[in-house]
Structure 1
Amino acid sequence: MMSNCCSQIIFLMCLLNVVKIRAQCEVPRAGDQRILTPESIKLTYSDGDTATFQCSVGYKPASLRGSRTITCSGNKWDYSKLKFQCTKKSCRPLPDFANGRYTYSPEGAEGVLFGATATAQCKEGFRLLRYTARRCLDAGWDGREPVCEVIKCPPPPEILNGQSEETLLDEYDYEQAVTYVCNAGYTLFGDSTVSCSKNGIFEPSPPECIIKSCGALPDFANGRYTYSPEGAKGVLFGATATAQCDEGFRLLQYPVRHCLDAGWDGREPVCEVIKCPPPPEIPNGQPEEPRLYEYDYEQKVTYVCNAGYTLFGDSTVSCSNSGTFEPSPPECIKKSCGALPDFANGRYTYSPEGAEGVLFGATATAQCDEGFRLLQFTARHCLDAGWDGREPVCEAQCEKPSAGHNRVLTPESNKSTYSDGDIATFQCSPGYEPADPEVSTTITCSGNKWDYSSLKLQCTCEKLKVTLSLTAQMLEIEREKLELYRERLAVEKERLQLDRDRLEVEKSSLALCKKAEQKTESHLKPNCTTAGDREGEAGVVQEETGS
């Protein structure tokens, strides 16, 4: 029973949902030119509902025929029966207004349809005051008719050295004209008449009144004129025309002319061809051809240098516009042979010294390094074609070998020069003999040095032994003499000591006597004469008696 109730409840709920879910259509599409009528605008559209269209603002039906209604079928609109179309409303062209007309945007037929713009444009000679543009709306053109007023111009400007033919007004209408005239002595340059233009100013610009012109002078034979001041003013009253001859000519007469009231004064200038005196001579060189007495403008002279010299500068000079040869003539300087590279085991010294030592006429003298001697090609000379001769040859050489130690060179080994590989042989000096006859007695020149390591010769002599023996005997005698001298010194030393002892005794005795003198009278004075004094007295007596 309970299950049946549940089944019935479920069935009823499903039935209710089916009733709720009915077919619906979305809001119908209208387009840019159509909209739904107010009564057709709803929140929901059910199956069988209808919707009716009308034209948007600014649009009108293209035709009175054709269905305007669509029907909701299920959940879709049936657009197949909708034949209603709309087109833009037309405001029609506006009539031209006073002194002007309209231009439309967009151009063509669209220019008078809904949304178009009509812009006011005044006729030439008028300018717009107000109501510039109008728009085509749903009810027609908006705005008001434009107002164009005639253009006015202020008085035209005054000009220097001239004025208008009539007295100037305070204001001029469009296209009203003013004519200018120049004062006496001046010529009008530009348009004499100006008019009030559509821009509200006089056009074209006023003309100028300029001083009378003498006109440009024609070029004369071999020359022309330059004017001061420059430009157009150079041919006006007071201007100056200066004669200038063509290149290669110089002015003889009538250099300047002046623009006066009646025209140019003076006469046509005269130009003559330029001549040059002979070109200058140069040391150590000369022209290729003999010099002439006179040369024409641009005539050329070419210099060449003597043998052993090189041309420095332009070899060719020309007769210039200044009547002298240009550029400056060249110099002929001694040719340079350049410094010679050092050769094997030697180098060059140059005469004269310094930079002159490699110039034409210089001498390069070969000089071998220490330990080498020159075999050939001692000197080379800088000639016109360069250094003559060939590269020197220096040979390795040893100096004369040193003997020493009672050794001398053998006669065949005693030479003035020794080359690489030469052998020198030694022997003992006279009075000496080899200590070992079997050892090496030779040395070899290796490059430029002697190899003394191979020399083993030692020399000795009998005389040396005798001399050594005599020397030993003499030393013994001297030793004995020294011993005797020592003994004598010892005796003298003892004698000296005895004298010292005697003096000490006498000094003691003398001291005792001096003390006794102080205690006794003079007639009781003891005899304090020392042994020394007695000896002195005896000497005096002996001297007096002559013994």
Structure 2
Amino acid sequence: MMSNCCSQIIFLMCLLNVVKIRAQCEVPRAGDQRILTPESIKLTYSDGDTATFQCSVGYKPASLRGSRTITCSGNKWDYSKLKFQCTKKSCRPLPDFANGRYTYSPEGAEGVLFGATATAQCKEGFRLLRYTARRCLDAGWDGREPVCEEVSCDPPSLPNGKRVHGRPPYRFKSTIEFACNPGFKMVGSPSLVCERNGWNSPPPNCTVKSCGALPDFANGRYTYSPEGAKGVLFGATATAQCDEGFRLLQYPVRHCLDAGWDGREPVCEVIKCPPPPEIPNGQPEEPRLYEYDYEQKVTYVCNAGYTLFGDSTVSCSNSGTFEPSPPECIKKSCGALPDFANGRYTYSPEGAEGVLFGATATAQCDEGFRLLQFTARHCLDAGWDGREPVCEAQCEKPSAGHNRVLTPESNKSTYSDGDIATFQCSPGYEPADPEVSTTITCSGNKWDYSSLKLQCTCEKLKVTLSLTAQMLEIEREKLELYRERLAVEKERLQLDRDRLEVEKSSLALCKKAEQKTESHLKPNCTTAGDREGEAGVVQEETGS
């Protein structure tokens, strides 16, 4: 019964939801020539809604009659009543302009409708300056009327030259005259005349001048830039180069100018080099000279403990300096020493420098070994000096334990392989069996405790413990008596504090009374403390 009720409720809820849903239409199709009016543009269209059309930009109604409205029926538009049609607007033909006319695209009647183009064309003998084309838009033809001017001669150009006579515009029988720039010479007529069909002849050419090749000079020659045939033309550069073994003193460069090469003939002198540079930790094999000839060589050697890195020999070069760069003398490396039996090395200084010339390798034995000989080695010119260290096995000081101690003769700072250590009982203890073994032997770097059979008993310790217990009991009783004495002193101190409080109160009352009465009626305000003080004075006077 309950299940049926639930089913009915769900059915009713679904029915209510269905009723709430209303049929809707999609956005209506307008087409290329028609668009929806602004008030008809919405996000959703329900059953019964209407939509009104108008013409697109550049179009106008084909007829003032015919319905422009459609209605949403259910979820579809009823286009059957839509009779509204649009046609392209016409801009009408443009009038001819001064010295020209228009051609239309597309051709024919379509050439003056919305979207068409009118292109300006000048009459023969004229050229178009501006406003080449106009377009038929919604409001009519755009742009402005074109301008055609009379044809005259386009001004000729002369690379590497300039005009010296005649200014544009160049009309019929106008003349122009040219001249070449410095460094160039003219080929052709320098003057031109504007005729009916243009200039009477082509413009001239300005070709670059040539300075010609320079002769070689004493102990040297020239190289040209740019290379090849252009290296002797106007603007080129001739650079002096001395022969091998000579260097340039002056006039290194000459330039090809309009009048020819500038400058003077270069001067080359024999090359001499100053002494070669000094190097750290090294020097030349031979004593340095004051001056060296071209290609004279110098060979470097390094000091002991250093290795030469680079070219050992340098030569006096064409530049007046020694080349290549001098070598370097770097410390020799002895390399890391291999670990030795039962030990290893530590190096000083640390890091990479620790294996270079002058470094020290110090021997360190492994734990359980001691160094007998050859403690340190040094990195010398020929390598590490000294010999491999020797580490001898040794045992640590033996642990006795179990109430045992070493005998005085067995108590040493070091124990070598084969040494024997003897034990005895600690004070207050005695051997449980005097006949058993009391010794152990150092084997390599470890003690062999398996032979140690000594066991110690604590008979003598009992007497000591008994006496200690009695002494502790006596000290405990002393502590208890001290605590009781402290309690009595604490009570006495509290009584003294209470008495002082009473006396302070009495003294305060007496001071108040003094302020209210005459001096002859002054009350007795002596405190118990004062009275005790007076009694003490009397006793001192009477000697009692």
TM-score range, shorter chain: 0.3 to 0.5
Compute the displacement of 1:384 (Å): 0.6
How big is each residue's C-alpha offset from its partner over 1:472-512, in whole Å with a ceiling of 9 and x where there is no partner?
Answer: 77799999999999999999999999999999999999999
Change (3 A) 1:271 1:194: farther
The answer on whether the counterparts of 1:150 and 1:174 sit within 8 Å (CA) in structure 2 is no
The answer on whether the counterparts of 1:213 and 1:237 sit within 8 Å (CA) in structure 2 is yes
Change (3 A) 1:218 1:436: same
The answer on whether the counterparts of 1:128 and 1:146 sit within 8 Å (CA) in structure 2 is yes
2:276 corresponds in structure 1 to: 279
Change (3 A) 1:175 1:291: farther
The answer on whether the counterparts of 1:70 and 1:82 sit within 8 Å (CA) in structure 2 is yes
Partner Cα separation in structure 2 for residue 3 and residue 524 of structure 1 = 113
Please say which of residues 195-204 and 117-126 is displaced more in the overlay.
117-126
Please say which of residues 72-81 and 494-503 is displaced more in the overlay.
72-81
1:506 match: secondary structure: helix
1:528 corresponds in structure 2 to: 525
Please say which of residues 95-104 and 378-387 is displaced more in the overlay.
95-104
Compute the displacement of 1:417 (Å): 1.9
Please say which of residues 142-151 and 437-446 is displaced more in the overlay.
142-151
2:165 match: secondary structure: coil
Partner Cα separation in structure 2 for residue 64 and residue 518 of structure 1 = 128
Partner Cα separation in structure 2 for residue 160 and residue 414 of structure 1 = 114
Change (3 A) 1:357 1:430: same
Please say which of residues 386-395 and 157-166 is displaced more in the overlay.
157-166
How big is each residue's C-alpha offset from its partner over 1:171-194, in whole Å with a ceiling of 9 and x where there is no partner?
Answer: x99999999999999779999999
2:428 match: secondary structure: coil
Compute the displacement of 1:197 (Å): 26
The answer on whether the counterparts of 1:59 and 1:89 sit within 8 Å (CA) in structure 2 is yes
Change (3 A) 1:321 1:395: same
How big is each residue's C-alpha offset from its partner over 1:513-540, in whole Å with a ceiling of 9 and x where there is no partner?
Answer: 9999999999999999999999999999
The answer on whether the counterparts of 1:67 and 1:84 sit within 8 Å (CA) in structure 2 is yes
1:503 corresponds in structure 2 to: 500
Please say which of residues 360-369 and 293-302 is displaced more in the overlay.
293-302
Partner Cα separation in structure 2 for residue 107 and residue 6 of structure 1 = 77
Change (3 A) 1:207 1:320: farther
The answer on whether the counterparts of 2:430 and 2:459 sit within 8 Å (CA) in structure 1 is no
Compute the displacement of 1:248 (Å): 3.9
1:165 corresponds in structure 2 to: 164
Change (3 A) 1:175 1:447: farther
Partner Cα separation in structure 2 for residue 240 and residue 300 of structure 1 = 35
Compute the displacement of 1:296 (Å): 2.6
The answer on whether the counterparts of 1:67 and 1:81 sit within 8 Å (CA) in structure 2 is yes
Change (3 A) 1:449 1:303: same
Please say which of residues 314-323 and 504-513 is displaced more in the overlay.
504-513
Change (3 A) 1:145 1:4: same
Change (3 A) 1:540 1:79: closer
Partner Cα separation in structure 2 for residue 532 and residue 45 of structure 1 = 116
Please say which of residues 189-198 and 75-84 is displaced more in the overlay.
75-84
- Name structure 2 gaps, 5 residues minimum: none
Partner Cα separation in structure 1 for residue 33 and residue 246 of structure 2 = 92
2:483 match: secondary structure: helix
Please say which of residues 266-275 and 301-310 is displaced more in the overlay.
266-275
2:83 corresponds in structure 1 to: 83
Change (3 A) 1:150 1:442: same
1:497 match: secondary structure: helix
The answer on whether the counterparts of 2:186 and 2:207 sit within 8 Å (CA) in structure 1 is yes
Partner Cα separation in structure 1 for residue 338 and residue 244 of structure 2 = 53
Partner Cα separation in structure 1 for residue 478 and residue 260 of structure 2 = 145
Change (3 A) 1:469 1:247: same
Please say which of residues 143-152 and 107-116 is displaced more in the overlay.
107-116
Compute the displacement of 1:424 (Å): 1.4
Change (3 A) 1:238 1:292: same
Compute the displacement of 1:397 (Å): 1.4
Please say which of residues 408-417 and 280-289 is displaced more in the overlay.
408-417
2:471 match: secondary structure: helix
The answer on whether the counterparts of 1:350 and 1:357 sit within 8 Å (CA) in structure 2 is yes
Compute the displacement of 1:544 (Å): 21
Change (3 A) 1:293 1:95: same
Query: Which structure: larger Rg?
Result: 1
Please say which of residues 246-255 and 310-319 is displaced more in the overlay.
246-255
Q: Give the structure-2-normalised TM-score.
A: 0.48
- Aligned-residue sequence identity (percent) comes to 93
Compute the displacement of 1:277 (Å): 0.6
Change (3 A) 1:518 1:465: same
Compute the displacement of 1:462 (Å): 6.0
Change (3 A) 1:235 1:445: same
The answer on whether the counterparts of 1:125 and 1:198 sit within 8 Å (CA) in structure 2 is no
Question: How many residues in Structure 1 have an aligned counterpart in Structure 2?
Answer: 540
Change (3 A) 1:292 1:339: same
Compute the displacement of 1:457 (Å): 1.7
Compute the displacement of 1:309 (Å): 1.0
Partner Cα separation in structure 2 for residue 501 and residue 18 of structure 1 = 100
How big is each residue's C-alpha offset from its partner over 1:61-112, in whole Å with a ceiling of 9 and x where there is no partner?
Answer: 9999999999999999999999999999999999999999999999999999
Please say which of residues 131-140 and 342-351 is displaced more in the overlay.
131-140
How big is each residue's C-alpha offset from its partner over 1:297-346, in whole Å with a ceiling of 9 and x where there is no partner?
Answer: 33322211011111233322222332112333222222121222332322
Compute the displacement of 1:413 (Å): 3.1
The answer on whether the counterparts of 1:125 and 1:174 sit within 8 Å (CA) in structure 2 is no
Partner Cα separation in structure 2 for residue 5 and residue 314 of structure 1 = 109
Partner Cα separation in structure 1 for residue 343 and residue 473 of structure 2 = 63
Partner Cα separation in structure 2 for residue 477 and residue 27 of structure 1 = 116
1:203 corresponds in structure 2 to: 201
How big is each residue's C-alpha offset from its partner over 1:343-384, in whole Å with a ceiling of 9 and x where there is no partner?
Answer: 232222223444433221222111112221012221111111
2:207 match: secondary structure: strand
Partner Cα separation in structure 1 for residue 72 and residue 520 of structure 2 = 200
Please say which of residues 11-20 and 417-426 is displaced more in the overlay.
11-20
Change (3 A) 1:541 1:362: closer
Change (3 A) 1:518 1:197: closer
How big is each residue's C-alpha offset from its partner over 1:209-260, in whole Å with a ceiling of 9 and x where there is no partner?
Answer: 6345332223334322234565534424575534232454222345455657
Change (3 A) 1:259 1:60: closer
The answer on whether the counterparts of 2:173 and 2:193 sit within 8 Å (CA) in structure 1 is yes
The answer on whether the counterparts of 2:183 and 2:257 sit within 8 Å (CA) in structure 1 is no
The answer on whether the counterparts of 2:237 and 2:253 sit within 8 Å (CA) in structure 1 is yes
Please say which of residues 1-10 and 141-150 is displaced more in the overlay.
1-10
Counterparts of residues 57-456 of structure 1 (less than 5 Å): 210-227=207-224, 231-236=228-233, 240-257=237-254, 268-403=265-400, 407-410=404-407, 412-429=409-426, 432-452=429-449, 454-456=451-453
Partner Cα separation in structure 1 for residue 490 and residue 11 of structure 2 = 174
The answer on whether the counterparts of 2:429 and 2:461 sit within 8 Å (CA) in structure 1 is no
The answer on whether the counterparts of 2:247 and 2:320 sit within 8 Å (CA) in structure 1 is no
Change (3 A) 1:66 1:294: same
Please say which of residues 36-45 and 439-448 is displaced more in the overlay.
36-45
Partner Cα separation in structure 2 for residue 195 and residue 202 of structure 1 = 5
1:340 match: secondary structure: coil
Please say which of residues 527-536 and 123-132 is displaced more in the overlay.
123-132
